[in-house]
Every structure is written in C-alpha cells, then in structure tokens.
C-alpha cells in the first residue's frame, strides 16, 4: 500500500516519521520544503500533490483548517481530480464537520471513500505516537485502515459517519480549553491567597480535579513555559468551528464563548503563536502576578 501525506507542520512531521518507523511506503509534500527535506531524509519519497493523488492508494492530510483541506483536495488541479476510484482519503486535520461532509460527498462522485480522523494529544503525543484519533466514516473503511492510524496513535475510535470525527474533536477542544482556563484561574487564586501553585498542583493532581490537561499544562504555567505544543491561534480556529457548529444545531455553549474571548485577547496581544497554556498570561495581565514565580 502506497500512502501519501500532505501537511508536515508541528503535528504532521512527527506523524510522518512514525509512519516511516512502522514501515509504510510514504510519499510527502508540504509548502515548507525544509520539512519535506527532513522527512525525505528519514526515508520518505517526495512528490507534488497531483502526483500523490495519482500514485497513492491512501491519501492523508494534516492541514490547518477547512479552507486548506478543500483547496488541496477539491481546488483547481486538486488531489481528488487525480485519485483513482477505490482509493481512500483520510483527513486528519481538525475542521468543521460540515466541511468534512461536503468533501466526502464530492469524493463519493469519483468513487473515493473518506474518513475524517482528527487527533488529540498535541506535539508530544504526535512525536511518541500516542495520539487519540476520533474517526468518522464507514465501518468497513475504518476497519481496513485502522492499523495505519494506530502507527501514529494509541487510541483509534470510530464515532459515527463522516463528520462524527470532527464533531467529537470539537467536543474535545471545548473540554481542553475550559480545563486550561480553570487551571489558570485556580492557580491565580491560590497564589493571590498566599499558597504556592506548585504545592496546589501536587496536592490535587491525584484527586477528582486531576486531569491529563492539568498534568501537561499546569507545570508549563508554573514555569512560564509558553513554547507551543498546540498554538493559541489553532485553538481559536477549533473553537470558531465549535461555535459555528453549535449555532447551526442550536447547542448552548456559553463557556466556550468565554474561553474564546480570552484566547482572542491573547491573539491580539501577540500571544497567538504561544502554547494554549499561555491562557495563564491573561490572568497575569489582570493581576500583575506571575503564577508560580
């Protein structure tokens, strides 16, 4: 089986390396030719998007948002125009589920099946191959290609038809964003009340308040480390998709809207390229303190 991967950013590059480690025949492309060269040095072939469509049995994308996936797949001389009937497309990007369904409908006309399979876990889990995949599509297509996703992730779950993967990812991103905000707010309270946030973290991480989010992001807040594992601007994109989807189906999401305003404030104050744990800096701005320092 020949696999093509388009998109070698923070997430796509380590995911490509894990596919190579698993022994897959991989061809890659990206606008960033330095990233392409790095993955080629690790053993991948390189080709244009059109060539990937022509030569690969399975095409993967890991791109920023809906317009990018649509442009790559369905735009002028897009990948879909070169894919053979019977080939499969798996979009691992986090996009609006409405867009996933639209892309799937167009591919179906060409005899191409699709799964939407966004991931959670950020750069660290992309590197060590323990991402969580939330997948939408047909059971038989999922069963056929689950092992490919398992080369990059430790959890691969079919959530429903096409679009269900990205709907699940939106739910995931709401929970992550609200959790990060809660951790930042709680650490701010603790420090302003005279209690060391480091000790608060040690005391509560094993209880009901403990979470994977707090374990990953709490120490970053305390250390003032805002090196991006997942950028604020990308989380803004995901929450915009969540709000759009919620408005479409009539779901109430007031907490999501509030966190989005904080993230947008960070973007407007040169924080868009920082890790989403830098939400803590919003509270530091309001209070004049530095959490844990």
Q: Which residues are catalytic?
A: 169
DSSP string across 118-141: -EESHHHHHHHT-EEEEEES-HHH
Is residue 263 within 8 Å of residue 275, measured between CB atoms?
no
Token representation of residue 39: 């993955």
Token representation of residue 215: 């374990």
Token representation of residue 218: 């709490």
User: What one-character DSSP code corresponds to residue 110?
Assistant: T
Backbone angles phi, psi at 160, to 5 degrees: 150, -160
User: What one-character DSSP code corresponds to residue 83?
Assistant: P
Token representation of residue 145: 């290609």
Spatial distance between the Cα atoms of 188 and 290, rounded to a whole number of angstroms: 9
Bridging pattern class, strands 45-46 and 25-29: parallel
Spatial distance between the Cα atoms of 169 and 157, rounded to a whole number of angstroms: 12
Backbone angles phi, psi at 155, to 5 degrees: -135, 125
């Amino acid at each position: 089986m020949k696999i093509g991967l388009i998109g070698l950013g923070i997430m796509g590059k380590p995911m490509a390396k894990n596919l190579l480690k698993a022994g897959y025949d991989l061809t890659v492309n990206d606008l960033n030719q330095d990233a392409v060269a790095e993955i080629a040095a690790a053993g991948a072939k390189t080709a244009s998007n059109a060539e990937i469509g022509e030569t690969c049995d399975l095409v993967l994308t890991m791109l920023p948002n809906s317009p990018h996936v649509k442009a790559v797949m369905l735009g002028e001389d897009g990948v879909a125009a070169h894919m053979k009937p019977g080939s499969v497309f798996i979009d691992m990007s986090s996009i609006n589920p409405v867009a996933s369904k639209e892309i799937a409908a167009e591919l179906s006309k060409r005899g191409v099946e699709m799964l939407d399979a966004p991931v959670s876990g950020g750069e660290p889990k992309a590197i060590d191959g323990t991402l969580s995949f939330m997948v939408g599509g047909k059971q038989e297509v999922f069963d056929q290609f689950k092992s490919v996703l398992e080369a990059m992730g430790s959890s691969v779950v079919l959530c429903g038809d096409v679009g269900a993967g990205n709907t699940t990812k939106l739910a995931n991103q709401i929970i992550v964003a609200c959790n990060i905000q809660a951790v930042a707010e709680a650490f701010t309270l603790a420090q302003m009340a005279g209690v060391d946030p480091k000790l608060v973290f040690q005391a509560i991480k094993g209880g009901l308040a403990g979470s994977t989010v707090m374990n990953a992001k709490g120490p970053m807040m305390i250390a003032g480390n805002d090196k991006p594992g997942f950028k604020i601007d990308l989380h803004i994109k995901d929450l915009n998709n969540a709000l759009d989807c919620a408005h479409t189906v009539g779901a109430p999401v007031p907490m999501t809207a509030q966190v989005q305003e904080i993230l947008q404030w960070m973007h407007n104050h040169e924080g868009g390229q920082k890790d989403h744990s830098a939400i803590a800096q919003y509270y530091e701005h309001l209070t004049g303190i530095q959490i844990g320092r």
